[in-house]
Amino acid sequence: MLDSLGNLKRTHYAGALRAAHEGQSVVLMGWVAGRRDLGNLIFVDLRDREGIAQIVFNKEAHPTAHWKAEQLRSEYVVAVEGRVMRRGKPNPELASGEVEVVASALHILNTSATPPFVIEDEISASEETRLRYRYLDLRRPQLQNNLALRHKVILEIRRAMDELGFYEVETPMLTRATPEGARDYLVPSRVHPGQFYALPQSPQIFKQILMISGLDRYFQIARCFRDEDLRADRQPDFTQLDVEMSFPTQDDVFGVIEQVMQRAWRVIGADVKIPFRRMLHQDAIRRYGSDKPDLRFGMELADVTPLFEAGRETLKFEGSVFALAAPGGASLSRKQLDELAEKAKSFGARAMYTIKVAPEGITSGLAKTLGEEAVKKIAEAAGAKAGDLVVAVAAQKQIKGTDNAALVAGQMRLHLAEKLRVIPSGQWDFVWLTGFPLFEWSTTEDRWVPAQHPFTGIIEEDLEKLETAPWEVRSKGYDLVLNGVELGSGSVRIHRADVQARLFRAIGLSDEQARSRFGFFLDALTYGTPPHGGIALGLDRTVMLMAGEKSLREVIAFPKTTAAQDLMADAPNTVPQEQLDELSIQVRLKNEE
């Protein structure tokens, strides 16, 4: 008993109706978001991409339309003809709440099975149910808004990049496996049995080659793939704003990105101040205990190791001690302090000490061991005010060349800030991090590995230490951090073949190995490579922050679970034997060995 669409044309979006449309005849099309049947009067909430409008069916005025409206159920697809009327009692909850549509005709275009959850923003369904029925989840206004925002941000970025003289160039999705870095997703070749393509972890080498090709300024909204374990802010396939330019200084790259970000943020009506702050990597670690510091609030760390020296024997701690002041934390209960200490341990602390700074005085269990004077100095160093709680954590000295106590304290800083609600909202604190070491020591591989990727440029005066003191070599890399989230990283690159060769030797690759892995790129480098550099920004993360979301899944149309599965499409999955045969692939599961 379904109606056909026929020649019916939509005149307005339901969600776009306003008082100004009063008196107009309209045709709306959308989904039944709700129905309130009062008998001879039926109210239907009609939802489309732009929002919701209330439709009224009156048995006296339009008996046929009313009779049909009695058959409506949730998520039926309908077309409504009617007149926009001002409401006696407006609904301030709805953007269209000043008006309603008095229906003269109703066309039921399709029915719907009863959905597994009610489609509204105050979603109660589990993440699992939402992902399995993603097409229903995506009908929710919040996700519609997020995808609309994503579209507008990408559009604005493309406009800005174009105006800045960048060409968008597509690079292959089927490419070759990269030996360093993340695990590759492999794609078997039918034409070349036993050989594999890899999906790109990033277009890194291609964009550098585009600079060698003389494109001068390249960008791409690029899909990237990394077969690593997931997090709330990490998906196996994700999108980067990938940028590369020739003859740049670091400031040129920063300037381009600052302008692009400023324009992108205007999409949400935010005025981002440029240029962004800059900070040395070592300062970020020392002051915030993180290489992606959240600068929306203070609570800076203080290295109080010297003040603890007197208690090193008694307290039995190793390494150093970092302290910070938690605003208003003095009121935390005994139980909350115990939980805090648990948390510190889970972050890798050997021990946690606290000092309560009350108006009537400073109290701490540390006074016995370190003395009143030292306790007071620790509180002062942390910048504690009356009512604060000073938290000091001790941890084993070094991890990957950075002070672990600082990193633990940095995690405590974030934990406490969230717990005590001191993080302001609506604030955008961008910061460029520079001065990264070129290498970090890999304990698993027992060698120096590039902290970023092996094409990252090297500060000229450190070049001579490449072979003698690699740990002292600084890179030309940089990270862009926003509100404690790493948005992306980039560098001015190595453009000389001889320097690139030295770098490969420094990370333990023989010339033959380097040649077999990167041969084509090393060849390209010898044919007049211009100085070049760029950056790659996580677009999903950018939109996530702008949308105020805590998970990437809220800004990606079809995301994967923490086990990298698509619950809706049921991927990955097995394939028929014939398909494997054609690819010369034999499957042998690990636990069958």
Partner RNA sequence: GGGGCCGUAGUUCAGUUGGUUAGAACGCGUGCCUGUCACGCACGAGGUCGCGGGUUCGAGUCCCGUCGGCCCCGCCA
Question: Which listed residue (17, 26, 78, 131) binds RNA by CB under 7 A?
Answer: 131
Nearer to RNA, 92 or 269 (CB): 92
Question: Which listed residue (134, 150, 226, 413) binds RNA by CB under 7 A?
Answer: 226
Nearer to RNA, 232 or 310 (CB): 232
Nearer to RNA, 250 or 489 (CB): 489
Please, which of residues 442-481 interact with RNA by CB under 7 A? 444, 449-454
Residue 423 is a binding residue for RNA (CB under 7 A)? no
Which of 84, 13, 22 lies closest to 51, judged by CA?
A: 13
Q: Cα angle vertex 548, ends 294, 284, to 5°?
A: 10
Least separation in angstroms between CB 173 and RNA: 15
Q: For RNA, which stretch binds (CB under 7 A), given 142-150, 459-467, 517-525, 557-565?
A: 557-565
Q: How far from the centroid of its chain's Cα atoms is residue 24's Cα?
A: 44
Question: Which listed residue (4, 7, 39, 269) binds RNA by CB under 7 A?
Answer: 39
Contact mark string toward RNA, 275..314, x via CB under 7 A: ----------------------------------------
Least separation in angstroms between CB 350 and RNA: 15
Could you give the CA distance from residue 141 to residue 147 in angstroms, rounded to a whole number?
Answer: 10
Least separation in angstroms between CB 391 and RNA: 18
- Length of the chain, in residues: 593
Contact 343, 412 (CB under 8 A): yes
Question: Which listed residue (8, 16, 27, 41) binds RNA by CB under 7 A?
Answer: 41
How large is the C-alpha radius of gyration of the chain? 30
Contact 338, 354 (CB under 8 A): no
Nearer to RNA, 41 or 105 (CB): 41
Size of site (CB under 7 A) for RNA? 66
User: Maximum CA pair distance of the chain?
Assistant: 92
Question: Which listed residue (38, 191, 587, 589) binds RNA by CB under 7 A?
Answer: 38
Contact 487, 538 (CB under 8 A): yes
Question: Which listed residue (4, 6, 9, 124) binds RNA by CB under 7 A?
Answer: 124
Q: What tokens appear for 24 in the block? A: 């107009």
Check whether the bond before 470 is cis (ω within 30° of 0). no
Residue 138 is a binding residue for RNA (CB under 7 A)? no
Helix ranges, 511-567 (H):
511-525, 539-546
The H or E element that residue 285 is part of is helix 281-288
Residue 211 is a binding residue for RNA (CB under 7 A)? no
Least separation in angstroms between CB 10 and RNA: 22
Question: Which listed residue (20, 232, 270, 557) binds RNA by CB under 7 A?
Answer: 232
Angle, in degrees to the nearest 10, between helices 204-212 and 511-525: 40
Least separation in angstroms between CB 347 and RNA: 8
Least separation in angstroms between CB 61 and RNA: 7
Please, which of residues 57-116 interact with RNA by CB under 7 A? 58-60, 73-74, 87-89, 91, 93-94, 97, 100, 102, 114, 116
457-487 as b/e, with b when 16 or more CB fall inside 10 Å? bbeeebeebbeeebeebbbbbbbbbbbbebb
Nearer to RNA, 374 or 525 (CB): 525
Nearer to RNA, 117 or 558 (CB): 117
Based on the number of CB atoms within 10 Å of its own CB, is 9 exposed (0-12), middle (13-18) or buried (19 or more)?
A: exposed
Least separation in angstroms between CB 313 and RNA: 29
Q: For RNA, which stretch binds (CB under 7 A), given 223-231, 281-289, 389-397, 539-547?
A: 223-231
Question: Which listed residue (144, 176, 181, 371) binds RNA by CB under 7 A?
Answer: 181
Nearer to RNA, 375 or 466 (CB): 466
3-state secondary structure of 580: helix
Q: For RNA, which stretch binds (CB under 7 A), given 18-26, 248-256, 325-333, 558-566?
A: 558-566
3-state secondary structure of 70: coil
Residue 593 is a binding residue for RNA (CB under 7 A)? no
DSSP string for residues in 307-371? HHGGGHHHHT--SEEEEEEETTGGG--HHHHHHHHHHHHHTT-SEEEEEEEETTEEE-TTHHHH-
Q: What tokens appear for 475 in the block? A: 């890179």
Please, which of residues 353-412 interact with RNA by CB under 7 A? none
Q: How many CB atoms lie within 10 A of CB 168?
A: 13
3-state secondary structure of 590: helix
Question: Which listed residue (10, 83, 223, 234) binds RNA by CB under 7 A?
Answer: 234
Read off the DSSP letter of residue 223: E
Contact 223, 238 (CB under 8 A): yes
Q: How many CB atoms lie within 10 A of CB 181?
A: 16
Question: Which listed residue (2, 11, 25, 40) binds RNA by CB under 7 A?
Answer: 40
Residue 128 is a binding residue for RNA (CB under 7 A)? yes
Residues that bind RNA (CB under 7 A): 34, 36-41, 43, 45, 54, 56, 58-60, 73-74, 87-89, 91, 93-94, 97, 100, 102, 114, 116-118, 124-129, 131, 178, 180-182, 201-202, 204, 226, 228-234, 346, 444, 449-454, 551, 553, 561-563, 565, 567
